[in-house]
Amino acid sequence: MGVRLMKRTWAASAVLGCLVAGVSVPATAAAGGFKIVLDTKLAGDDQMETITAPTRKSAFAFASQMADRSIPAGYRWNGRKWARTPLPKGLRGVVTQVTASSARHAWAAFHPDVPVVERRDCADRRLRAGSGSARILRWTGKKWVVEATFKNATISTIGAVTAKNVWAYGLDEAGYAAWHFNGGKWTRSPAPFLISGVSVVSAKEIWATGLDLAADSSFVVRFDGRRWTRPRIRQIAPDIKATETMPGRQTLIGEVHALGHDQVIVSGKIRRGTLCDTSTEESLTLRLKGRAWRREKPAVLKGFSLVDHASDGAGGVYALGDPLLGTGFDVFYALFHRTAKGKWTRRLEHARPGASSVLGIAHVPGTRSLWAVGNTYGRKDMNGFISLKGRP
């Protein structure tokens, strides 16, 4: 029963090809009120799953052409259209996350490898950082440049508070790490645990998932500008350690999404089974309002754990659902909506007709609209797309 370092992993295919320009296409109708606004149309297989929108007229997204070594491709929305953005030459790897404090200030986490948990057997676990150097890319207003390089490191998450206050977290050869940008340079400091999926409210309120890989546990954490703390949540029962023969129970916190000051949605799942075999999984959704935590169990979420969130612009939240083990769902990700009053509904399975998956979402600030990125699975290859629900 292991802890996942990132929400998703990338699998490189054996398909080789030449990178060609992504094409902005006329908006076409899709499922659930979404319209396709861009098809990547890269050679061979490609995958798009990360997007952020700091303003109504600005958004950034990344795809990756999956060959022997993945080749990243950047895209930017300028308020009128999506277009390819120049990346540093020679990059081979994956952009795993992008964050922005404004239309002019954006950063992306890049590494040539993905975080892995190595297993000699199911009772023995080792962790290693990426085999190459992780990099922070910065948007200059015209192109992406390499701003910082972290040797033998893996970046698990990145979050921008302001243009002069950016945090990246992960691990390197020295252990768990936090890297901070003050507007002039990046500095490293040790972290108490591996931090994943930050959600920024302010400089003095950042929420995230904490991972203790040695103990194989995950938990909700909060940063007050000086240190990380673990709030006590009685709705999360203590883990029962499993062995190879005796079943146990483990709570896996997948994502912590802040709606505002002390207003948080926590998503994850509860696994039951032996160390080497998971028998059942149960969805876990928690809501913090003020000081009170409450578990939510809407019937519509049965069979799914939530893995990504975005505001709906009206006090509610959208979330992507990842099918749980043994549910029989053939949908990679489904989209759910929670209103400000707490009503959950399932909105769609695909953001375009045919075989496709929604892999990332982002709220369009100042509106009730939603960007979505994902993949379409064709007969010969897989291609990424960007779609829009509502008006930009």
Note the pLDDT of residue 126: 52
Condensed to tens digits (0 to 9), the pLDDT of residues 319-343 reads 998 888 766 655 567 889 999 999 9
Q: Is the pLDDT of residue 355 over 70?
A: no
Condensed to tens digits (0 to 9), the pLDDT of residues 143-178 reads 999 999 999 899 999 999 999 999 999 999 899 999
Domain 23-389 fold is Methylamine Dehydrogenase; Chain H (2.130.10)
Supply the pTM of this predicted model.
0.87
Condensed to tens digits (0 to 9), the pLDDT of residues 236-256 reads 888 888 888 899 999 999 999
Considering only residues 21 and 288, tell me which one the structure prediction assigns the higher pLDDT. Answer: 288
Q: Is the pLDDT of residue 25 over 80?
A: no
Tell me how far apart the alpha carbons of residues 203 and 342 are, in angstroms, rounded to a whole number.
Answer: 28
Tell me how far apart the alpha carbons of residues 243 and 71 are, in angstroms, rounded to a whole number.
Answer: 41
> Mean pLDDT across the chain, nearest whole number?
84
- Of 99-108, 269-278, 371-380, where does the model show the most confidence? 99-108
- The mean per-residue pLDDT over the stretch 1-12 comes to 33
| Residue spans per domain, the chain | 23-389
Positive or negative torsion for Cα 273, 274, 279, 284: positive
> What proportion of the chain, given as a percentage, has pLDDT over 90?
57
Q: Is the pLDDT of residue 379 over 80?
A: no
Please report which confidence band the pLDDT of residue 13 belongs to, taking 50, 70 and 90 as the band edges. very low
Condensed to tens digits (0 to 9), the pLDDT of residues 31-82 reads 568 888 999 888 778 888 899 999 999 999 999 887 767 889 999 999 999 9
Tokens of 165: 């206050």
Number of continuous H segments (helices) and E segments (strands) in the chain: 0, 31
Note the pLDDT of residue 376: 81
Q: Three-state SS for 223? A: strand
- Residues 224, 200: contact at Cβ < 8 Å? no
Note the pLDDT of residue 196: 93
Please report which confidence band the pLDDT of residue 354 belongs to, taking 50, 70 and 90 as the band edges. low
Tokens of 88: 């540093």
- Which DSSP string corresponds to 323-366? EPTTS----S-EEEEE-TT--EEEEES-SSSSSEEEEEEEE-TT
